[in-house]
Amino acid sequence: MNAAIRAAVRQADALGMDVYGVYRGYQGLVEQDWRPLTSRHCANILQRGGTILNTARCDAWRLPAVRAKAAQDLKDAGVDALVVIGGDGSFTGAEILNREHGIPCAGIPGTIDNDLPGTDRTLGFDTALNTAVQAIDRIRDTASAHERLFLVEVMGRSSGMIAVNTAIACGAEAVLYPEAEEHGYQALVTQLRAGWERGKRSSIVVVAEGDASGGAYKISELLRKDHNLDMRVVVLGHIQRGGSPTAIDRIWGSRWGAEAVKRLAAGETSFYLGSENGELVSRPLARIHDPKPNPPKELAILAGVLAR
């Protein structure tokens, strides 16, 4: 996100436009917590994780009267447009603000879940994925040495994008994730038994936190009760949300930040940016209401084939 902030500010500066940073997202809009941002404010932030503007949930944004006052506050302050970095909640809030009050809004996809419609990639996904893979590579050493089963829980309450891609990248023996129809607990037992019969004496199972089976701890309880297996559970948790961003995330954040400002300056009013087949694309903000993408089924199948 800091790469996108930096690029937006410096592109605006190049076009002679003033920029304000809104702190804590929509909560900052409600409280008028915004301050000038210049190119110098964005020095030395490219390599930092998180966001220098901070973030917060804002339940008050659901209220029409609150949005109306915030829109008027923006107009009174001479703010011509917003650049919103976030996921489906942030984009939905921007789409409503534009539709109800005509505030031009540009969205930059920022969510580690990589689950926004109309884009192959979101900011943070590549960084979170690499963080998970690096952690599991280390866990694999212990699993092999002790001939033990590890259940590793990654983020993804409603999306298995991190889980499925992590499973492929780290050579996991199995993966469980929310959207899967045929990859439940019983299928996991079958996979683990087949691996044991082929001579495997250690296994890594990647579990998305939102999996229907109940997450890594619940699955471990079932496996101990039903099959008396010796295993360990590792929950990576919020370690996936921090750390220095990968080069890919920095590059796309920079591209999207600059492009958002250029399109707003050219008169576009309600859009979000994305990537399709490696090309930068623009989508109408209204598309945020489209169904979320699921992990490609062929990836889940590939993970099973490669685990043999």
Read off the amino acid at residue 284.
Answer: P
Any idea which residue has 């004496």 for tokens?
201
Q: What are phi and psi of 193, to 5 degrees?
A: -65, -40
DSSP state of 62: G
Any idea which residue has 């050493």 for tokens?
141
3-state secondary structure of 154: strand
**Closest Cα partner for 93 from 55, 119, 67, 65?**
67
d(CA 91, CA 264): 16
d(CA 55, CA 123): 15
The string of DSSP letters for 160-228 reads -HHHHHHHHHHT-SEEE-TT-SS-SHHHHHHHHHHHHHTT---EEEEEETT-TT-HHHHHHHHHHHHH-
- Residue 113 is among the residues annotated as catalytic for this protein: yes
Q: What are phi and psi of 9, to 5 degrees?
A: -65, -45
Read off the amino acid at residue 175.
Answer: V
Q: Are strands 279-284 and 270-276 parallel, antiparallel or unpaired?
A: antiparallel
d(CA 205, CA 185): 11
Q: Which of 88, 113, 126, 249 is catalytic?
A: 113
Classify residue 33 by burial, with Cβ atoms within 10 Å: 0-12, 13-18, 19+.
middle
Residues belonging to the active site: 113
